[in-house]
Structure 1
Amino acid sequence: MAPFELGVVVEVFGLARPELGGLLAAPWYGLKVCADRPGAALDAVGGFALTARHGLDDLAAADTVVIPGVRNAFSGEVSPGLVEALRTAHERGARIVSICSGAFALAAAGLLDDKEATTHWRYAELLQQRHPRVRVNPDVLYVDNGDVLTSAGSAAGIDLCLHLVRRDHGAKVANSVARRFVVAPHRDGGQAQFIEAAVRPVEEDEDGIARSMQWALDHLSDPLTVSVLARAARMSDRSYLRHFTARNGTSPMRWVVTQRIAASLALLEAPEGSVEEIAAAVGFESAATFRHHFGRVMRTSPTAYRRSFGRGVA
């Protein structure tokens, strides 16, 4: 097994969260790590072993099941016991989630038939060939079908787990978990930005990029352009655009839009403020522009998000 993906699940759902305090409107998660043979050593990549205390009966009875990977995506082998447990859990109404190659287990159980799904870009073509009823999308970080969710490889599991926290507990809680994780609460873009990416040395003037990003987060409601950000970084527009894109895998303005959307989530969850007022508060020039970008990033509308996650909003 790959320990990183399992570690992501444990880190997000298994740690105590005293820092959340009164932010939680519902109890935090209870985590059980399950295996076909509880108590047996599970070989992990890197030359060590883990032992799971719980079996597939516990998995089948869970409210949310996360499959962080399969033993070997190329072999096509998925435990019949796991397939049965997944089907049982899904029939009970459980939410079924996969990270990276875990999508092969969901597909083997028939849970991805006629649904959009994703997996690591390295496995996408294989998943489509082996399970032709699955609509494989190799370009996204994760896909949310409501009761069945899939994510791309490795770190995309962080994105999906934070998305689950956001769905269950709201943006403020998800942002707090992301802060403890030391990651962005929401990443824009898809897997393509990470395929065959060149590794290049860090240059001294890149400290200006970090400085400009922090400055932008402190001034999201202000008019922000590449020129404005370049001045904050003490760089020319052309140099700033090149270094920012190389470092972050996206353009400065696309990143700004994503940060503005992230900042809007907590405001939408509060009962105060119209969509127009929230759009202005996070720096969008109009509510129409806000709705357009919100739909592209979140795959829903601000009003629908507020209806789902708003606290005390009718």
Structure 2
Amino acid sequence: MPESRLHRVAVLVLERALPLDVGIPAQVFATRMDMPYEVRACGTTPGVVTSGNGLSYVVEHGLEALEWADIVFVPGYRHPDREATPPKAVEALQAAYERGARLAAISTGAFTLAAAGLLDGRRATTHWRYTAALAEQYPNIQVKENVLFVDEGSVLTSAGAGAGIDLCLHILRAELGVATSNTAARCLVAAPYRSGGQAQFVPRSVPEPAGERFTATRDWALRRLAEPLTLEVLAQHAAVSPRTFSRRFVAETGYTPMQWVMRARIDVARELLERSEHSIEQIAADVGLGTGANLRLHFQRILGTTPSEYRRTFARGD
């Protein structure tokens, strides 16, 4: 994408769209000094779109915005399992996909992408109340029930509205780096560490689990990543046996404790690569990985790139 123009974001507002789902991408990607985005809200036609919960939206653009956008967000809406997506919207989404735009559904917006046939043969998620309905109506979709979001490259889906924030932050991380994503998370007073637990490209690797059983231990570990952290050390802090700790930790986060620690270390390394001029060797020591060779090995395995290449891509020039 040329650096001379803003990244183009369209938010497709359909009838009965949920207010928070509409507002999340509009707020996260709002144009400002550190956010090179332009957002356009659109409907099947310009004008008033009824929400159905006491609110209405006035959108300035019609479906031509989907021809303009680099990424199209589809907010969730009420009763998606009982309502048909407007054929014009389906055709516009299909056309946007064909020309290379990315499509991102928040919550039940996944039903719109499904109606367009864009989730067939892919992994996807939606709000937990509707995962069974999505799987039943669209059996060719691999519905994932226990994730916050799924990134399939050109098509992304998320669970409820809160997970829409996670999805937007994930997109920011991939496009602008960890530091910018963390700044946006702080502005939103949102957790920057949540993740869908999938093998997404450049994910924020430390998930915020559904349970809170080991919150104190996770926070304690994040402050001591430079120190030796073994399963036994973590279990001792949590006051349970290593076997119990490991089993419950996997159930809550989708990672083993040692996988979680490694990804946490890589996350800190990423931010140091972006924000500091420390050498690879120094960063490796700072995050508890010992040597630059060890950091390079795990960085490549988890993120598919090298620390040096990551720094060239995301390091700030100011």
* TM score, norm. by length of structure 1: 0.72
Q: 1:59-99: per-residue Cα shift (whole Å, max 9, x none)?
A: 23211100011342221411111101101111221111111
- Tell me what 1:54 maps to: 61
Deviation at 1:283, TM superposition (A): 2.1
- Tell me what 2:114 maps to: 107
Query: For 2:155 and 2:195, how far apart are their aligned partners in 1?
Result: 21
- Tell me what 2:265 maps to: 260
Query: For 1:123 and 1:276, how far apart are their aligned partners in 2?
Result: 48
Query: For 1:113 and 1:230, how far apart are their aligned partners in 2?
Result: 42
Query: Does structure 1 retain, via aligned residues, the 8 Å contact 2:296–2:307?
Result: no
Higher helix share: 1
Residue of structure 2 aligned with 1:222, choices 227, 247, 250: 227
Deviation at 1:167, TM superposition (A): 1.3
AA partner of residue 92 (structure 1): R
Partner of 1:125, secondary structure, is helix
Deviation at 1:106, TM superposition (A): 0.9
Query: For 1:119 and 1:305, how far apart are their aligned partners in 2?
Result: 36
- Tell me what 1:301 maps to: 304
The 1:188–1:93 alpha-carbon spacing in structure 2 relative to 1, beyond 3 Å, is closer
Query: For 1:44 and 1:309, how far apart are their aligned partners in 2?
Result: 48
- Tell me what 1:282 maps to: 287
Deviation at 1:155, TM superposition (A): 1.1
- Tell me what 2:239 maps to: 237
Deviation at 1:49, TM superposition (A): 2.3
Residue of structure 2 aligned with 1:39, choices 40, 47, 53: 47
Query: Does structure 2 retain, via aligned residues, the 8 Å contact 1:170–1:309?
Result: no
Query: For 1:114 and 1:265, how far apart are their aligned partners in 2?
Result: 33
Query: Does structure 1 retain, via aligned residues, the 8 Å contact 2:193–2:208?
Result: no
Q: Percent identity?
A: 41
- Tell me what 1:157 maps to: 164
Paired positions, count: 282
What are the ranges of 5 or more consecutive residues in structure 2 without an aligned counterpart? 1-16, 198-206
Query: Residues 166-245 of structure 1 correspond to what in structure 2 (within 5 A)?
Result: 166-188=173-195, 194=210, 209=216, 213=219, 216-224=221-229, 237-238=239-240
- Tell me what 2:32 maps to: 17
Deviation at 1:17, TM superposition (A): 3.5
- Tell me what 2:132 maps to: 125
Q: 1:178-199: per-residue Cα shift (whole Å, max 9, x none)?
A: 12112222314659954xx79x
- Tell me what 1:310 maps to: 313
Query: Does structure 2 retain, via aligned residues, the 8 Å contact 1:139–1:192?
Result: no
The 1:188–1:260 alpha-carbon spacing in structure 2 relative to 1, beyond 3 Å, is farther
RMSD: 4.0
Q: 1:158-187: per-residue Cα shift (whole Å, max 9, x none)?
A: 111011111111111111111211222231
Query: Does structure 2 retain, via aligned residues, the 8 Å contact 1:3–1:44?
Result: no
* TM score, norm. by length of structure 2: 0.71
- Tell me what 1:134 maps to: 141
Query: Does structure 2 retain, via aligned residues, the 8 Å contact 1:271–1:310?
Result: no
Query: Does structure 2 retain, via aligned residues, the 8 Å contact 1:60–1:86?
Result: no
Query: For 2:168 and 2:83, how far apart are their aligned partners in 1?
Result: 26
Deviation at 1:307, TM superposition (A): 5.5
Q: Does 1:4 align with 2:20?
A: yes
- Tell me what 1:64 maps to: 71
Deviation at 1:6, TM superposition (A): 1.5
Residue of structure 2 aligned with 1:90, choices 97, 100, 110: 97
